[in-house]
Amino acid sequence: MLYLLYESLKDGEAGKYINFLRYPTFRIVAAAVSSLLIGMVIGPGLIARLRFKQHGISNVREDTPESHQKKKGTPTLGGTLILLCIFMGTLLFADLKVRVVWVALLMTAGYGFTGYLDDWLKLSKKNSKGLPGRYKIVLQTAFFLISVFGLLTDWHDGPKLLIQTTLTLPFVPTRYVNPDLGWLYVVFAWFVVVGTSNAVNMTDGLDGLAIAPTMISSLVFAVLCYVAGTSVSIADMEVVNGVRTLVGVPVHEYLGITQVVGGTELAVFCASIIGAGISFLWFNAYPASVFMGDVGSLALGGALGTVAMLSKNEVLSAIIHGVFLAEILSVMLQVASFKLTGKRIFKMAPLHHHFEKEGMGETKIVIRFWIVSVLLGGIALASLKLR
């Protein structure tokens, strides 16, 4: 909204006083700071209201280690705080004329709604089962298809996707390998988005475990989106008429990555996630004052998967989201092993519960998962220069 205000006033006298809003770098930082401040201001009141509404209801899953039972009484639905902050930060500082911003917001809201239904059923029925998994997948798929075919498809001259259907591979310049999936890309993107959403949901089992890797992933995506979407050029040497000449080269071309229209605005969205995540972590750090709930974990996972799709980092997201990937794979392997052999690979799945059963303390598990997330994020950013 503030950027649109600048657009309407930039040619007048008032425009020079808000000229700073035209710089994506300022708006990225401002989105993070504003979403953080909003969360810190409204967080205590929201948590107090959730605690009052959920008094006497256990929000602890039944399929968790016994040590988790001491957390009974901690309110859930804290993800609503995250969503409010993300939306406020993005709406205030992103260019709302850019299509990908609305795709990211729609997917976040849709997956948040799916998570809210799950949390609401758990609270109203007073059990930990909630919305059956197949219905979650149906709703996630529905919002994905609405976003792709409603906002990312041009129907005027026949159906045509408005995003590139090529894949960018880590550590490989796009000029060498850039496979085009055509309409099969929609299926591939569905796996990325829905898989990421459910992987983050699986990871949300310890205080602060899911939110910090989410912020780290968002920071990495903010950098990737900015360099892929900025119009800034950097100096590089090229041979012109047999003479080595210093020329200006767009950042995305210099780095060998796909250009992303609206990439800088996606960076604003990612920055809002970071600010919202920090404010939530203030209340969610061990021992947690509030749980994220599926309204937060499904929404954040959907947001990260959507950004991976829109920024053309679908394959690289497997590295960026390595912690989430390990968590969901541990569940899949556990189920497959038990059905095929009758034996379990892990003492309990997802993976963080296995470490709990091994006797590792909750805080140590969380911090080590954070460290792994930082390492994986660094590898993902290093891939830019190793192309």
Mean pLDDT (whole number) for 109-136: 89
> What range does the domain containing 249 cover?
2-385
Q: What is the pLDDT of residues 201-254, one digit of tens each?
A: 999 988 899 999 999 999 999 999 999 998 877 756 555 566 565 556 788 877
Residues in the chain: 387
CB 136 within 8 A of CB 118: yes
Would you state the torsion angle of the CA atoms of residues 105, 107, 113, 114, taken in this order, to the nearest 10 degrees? -160
SS3 per residue for 320-343:
HCHHHHHHHHHHHHHHHHHHHHCC
Q: What is the band of 171 on the pLDDT scale with cuts at 50, 70, 90?
A: confident
Mean pLDDT (whole number) for 71-98: 92
CB 97 within 8 A of CB 268: no
15-24, 43-52, 271-280: range with highest mean pLDDT: 271-280
> What was the pLDDT predicted at 244?
60
CB 86 within 8 A of CB 279: no
As given in the structure block, the two tokens for residue 51 are 């605690």
Q: What is the pLDDT of residues 342-379, one digit of tens each?
A: 999 999 989 999 999 999 999 999 999 999 999 999 99
Q: Positive or negative, the Cα torsion across 220, 319, 78, 281?
A: negative
As given in the structure block, the two tokens for residue 384 are 């830019």
Q: What is the band of 69 on the pLDDT scale with cuts at 50, 70, 90?
A: low
Domain count of the chain?
1
> What was the pLDDT predicted at 247?
54
Residue 150: DSSP 8-state: I
Question: Whole-number mean pLDDT of the chain?
Answer: 89
CB 299 within 8 A of CB 80: no
Q: Which of 326, 323, 301, 304 is nearest to 313 (CA)?
A: 304
CA distance to 116, 132, 208, per residue, from 362 (Å)? 26, 28, 10
Within 10 Å of residue 10's Cβ, how many Cβ atoms? 14
Mean pLDDT (whole number) for 197-201: 96
Tell me the backbone φ, ψ of residue 344, rounded to 5 degrees.
Answer: -105, 140
Task: Please state, for a pLDDT cut of 90, what percent of the chain lies above it.
Answer: 66
Give the pTM: 0.93
CB 221 within 8 A of CB 314: no
Residues 6+ apart with CB under 8 A from 121: 129, 130, 131
How far apart CA 19 and CA 6 sit, in angstroms, is 7
Angle at alpha carbon of residue 157, lines to 152 and 158, rounded to 5°: 70
